[in-house]
Chains A and B, each alone.
Chain A
Amino acid sequence: MPGLQVPLEHVLMMAAALFIAGLVGLMVRRNIIFILMSLEVMLNASALAFVAAGAHWGQADGQIIFMLILTVAAAEVSVGLGLVLLLQRRFKTLDMDNANRLRD
């Protein structure tokens, strides 16, 4: 069935709520794994908004961008997890507060 079955505004609000949840998580969490998870939530929130908008206009573009975002997020997180391993090896902790030697 073509088109979006629910009002576009509702999906966008849902996506915005997810985005804000991710942003808050990014800022308050100190554990690097949770920070990376929050980042994923933010990226997926924008992907959801793209899918909804694509369905609203009856175009495939939204879903294609969704797939691109998925790929990009995977690349980003795989590099991120590599850095997490290094962090654990050097600092013996995953707490970002221990990695704060760079400051004014």
Chain B
Amino acid sequence: MNLAAMQGLLPLLVLGLGAAVLMLQISIRRQLGWSYAITVATLLLGAAAMEPAMQVAPLQVTPLLRVDNLGLFFGSLFCLSGAVTAVISRDYLRSREGENEEYFLLLLLSTLGAVILAYSTHVAALLLGLELLSVALYALIAYPERGTLPLEAAIKYLVLSGAASATLLFGFALIYAALGSLEYAEIAVQISAGRAATSPALILMGAAMVFAGLGFKLSVVPFHMWTPDVYEGAPAPISGFLAGVSKGAVFIAVLRWFLESGFFQYSSLLAGITLLSIASILVGNLLALLQTNVKRILAYSSIAHLGYLLIVLVAAGVSPEPGLAVEAGGYYVVAYVITTLAAFSLLGLISRQSGDREYDQLSDLAGLFWKQPGLAALFTVALLSLAGIPLTAGFIGKFYLISAGVDAALWGLLAALVIGSAIGIFYYLRIIYTMTTVGEQANPGTTADMLVGSRLVVYLLIFAMLYLGIVPEPLMGYLRTIL
């Protein structure tokens, strides 16, 4: 491995080194403040290491990883999101007794997995990134000792995510049996060389299984059953990490696999994805109407959002020039990750862990506008962005998706998107409405005793959301140059 390759892998090296340093620090002397500082510093350095890495991009480092602008951009997005989660968790964990240092170690490892996913161009790298991401998350979900819900959520996630990994791997094994390659680019070469013609059934079945496995991680209908349960049981900052970073990273990995290995030429696969997308949009939005727990509402809303994102895959496959679709997907992922992180972070701060449950029922939020106008106003902005109201990042993201869909003439999907968004506005507004009603529920978290770090982070997230909604051109232009 030469120097250029090392430079390209700098973000991964920084994160790995940070994890090793953190492990040493914990084993020498337990000190939460130090662990927290090392984690945040490592994640910020990891994001900053994108700059030197970009100078050597694009560069293929071993068949496993490719350093290119797409991977670097989203890698740094995931690093920053990990840092946000760490800051919010610090506030969230304040009331928790016992040893909390490993929490940050697990968070760091999980983020490393997400960054590897953004780099991966080979089945082995995909497997390693995916498992690093999820195995650390199992432990993070079960971390709080309050009640039994986190434990139950962690076991559910472990069993289903393990089954999803096995399905994914079986699919790749079938593709490997048919084509003799594990590298995305090589798979594309074999398909276009006509080797696929000897066993088309094997390849289609393999691709369907891979997609089913990844669909689990993306929680698209009909593989969504675990999502609301796990999000409800997990600590709020981790639910945000799961919904934002974990799904975002898997989506980027799917996008890469799909585009680079040339699977979009199978029209039956595209038809399947279209069905999954429509089902996710409708089921996610309709079931969100029935929920009374805010975390479950956000979980169903994330299912619907992933349904919207799948439009990108279909559009990239159908239209002769996939550039616009990929660009729309990139923008939507950025907007979605920021918005979801903001929503869950604020919910975590509002419902700071106290006693044996979080204050995450809809009725717990009643009267929030009168008691803590600051938090309520910020939460409102996050919800409006999720709903896709103009002047927020969510609106521009949706607008971009629609233009990509129109470009590829996907009228059925666009109809589902419009209907889904209309239903969505209703349940987001219901949360906002509840916050304005007068209620007498006790609510312990107040803006006054928020740590400086979490206050700063929340303001930054809201600012980013509004900035991307009002002045989207810089990011659009940037994405156009790198994709």
Residues on A lying within 8 angstroms of B by beta carbon are: 8, 12, 15-16, 19, 22-23, 26, 32, 35-36, 39, 42-43, 45-47, 49-50, 52-54, 56-57, 59, 61-62, 64-65, 68-69, 72, 75-76, 79-80, 82-83, 86-87, 90-91, 96, 99-104
- The one of A45, A54, A90, A96 that contacts B170, using a Cβ cutoff of 8 Å: A45
Complex contact A50–B163 (CB within 8 A) = no
Given A65-B124, A102-B153 in contact, is the A42-B173 Cβ separation under 8 Å? no
For B230, list chain A residues within 8 Å (CB).
Answer: 102
Interface residues on B, range: 35 or more
In angstroms, Cα B176 to Cα A52, docked, is 10
Contact at B152–A102, with CB atoms within 8 Å?
A: yes
Checking A36, A43, A101 against B165 with a beta-carbon cut-off of 8 angstroms, the contacting residue is A43
Distance between Cα atoms of A79 and B167 in the complex (Å): 20
Which residue among A19, A23, A75, A104 has the maximum number of chain B CB atoms within 10 Å of its CB?
A: A104
Task: Say yes or no for B123: interface residue by CB 8 A criterion.
Answer: yes
Answer whether A57 and B180 are a contact pair too, CB < 8 Å, given A26-B159, A43-B162, A50-B169.
Answer: yes
| Chain A binding surface, main DSSP class | helix
Closest to A100 in B: B152
Quick one: which of A32, A36, A39, A53 contacts B177, CB cutoff 8 A? A53
Which residues of the other chain, B, contact A75 by a CB distance below 8 angstroms?
Answer: 131, 135
Count A-B pairs with CB separation below 8 Å: 128
A45 pairs with B165, CB closer than 8 A:
no
Chain B residues near A80 (CB, 8 Å)?
138, 155, 158, 162
Assembly CA distance A91 to B149 (angstroms): 12
CB distance from B115 to the nearest CB of A (A): 18
Instruction: Report Cα–Cα, A68/B180, bound state, in Å.
Output: 18
Main secondary structure of the interface of B (DSSP, over half): helix
Closest to B177 in A: A53
Bound-state CA distance A83–B158 (Å) is 9
On whether the beta carbons of B170 and A8 are closer than 8 Å, the reply is no
Shortest CB-to-CB span from A15 to chain B, Å, is: 7
Chain B interface residues toward A at CB < 8 A: 123-124, 127-128, 131, 135, 138-139, 142, 148-149, 151-156, 158-159, 162-163, 165-167, 169-170, 172-174, 176-177, 180, 182, 228-230, 232-233, 287, 290-291, 296
The complex places the Cα of A49 from the Cα of B421 at a distance, in Å, of 43
What's the Cα separation between A16 and B182 when bound, in Å? 20
Contacts A19-B166, A83-B142, A104-B290 given; indicate if A99 touches B151 (C-beta within 8 A): yes
Q: Are B169 and A69 in contact (CB under 8 A)?
A: yes
The winner among A23, A32, A53, A87 for most chain B CB atoms within 10 A is: A53
A-B contact pairs, 6 of them (CB 8 A): A26-B163, A43-B165, A49-B177, A56-B177, A83-B142, A99-B148
In the docked arrangement, what's the CA distance between A91 and B152, Å? 10
- CA A93 – CA B162 in complex, angstroms? 22
Give, as a whole number of angstroms, the nearest-CB distance from B165 to chain A: 7
- Cross-chain contact A87 with B165 (CB below 8 angstroms): no
**Complex interface: chain A residues within 8 A of B123 (CB):** 65
Q: Is the CB of A101 within 8 A of B180?
A: no
Q: Is the CB of A12 within 8 A of B174?
A: yes
Contact partners of A19 in chain B: CB under 8 A:
166, 170
B170 touches A15 (CB 8 A): yes
A90 to B139 CA separation, bound complex (whole angstroms): 16
Shortest distance between the CB of A32 and any CB in chain B (Å) = 7
Given A19-B170, A65-B127, answer yes or no on A79-B139 (Cβ-Cβ < 8 Å). yes
* A53 and B173 form a contact (CB under 8 A): yes
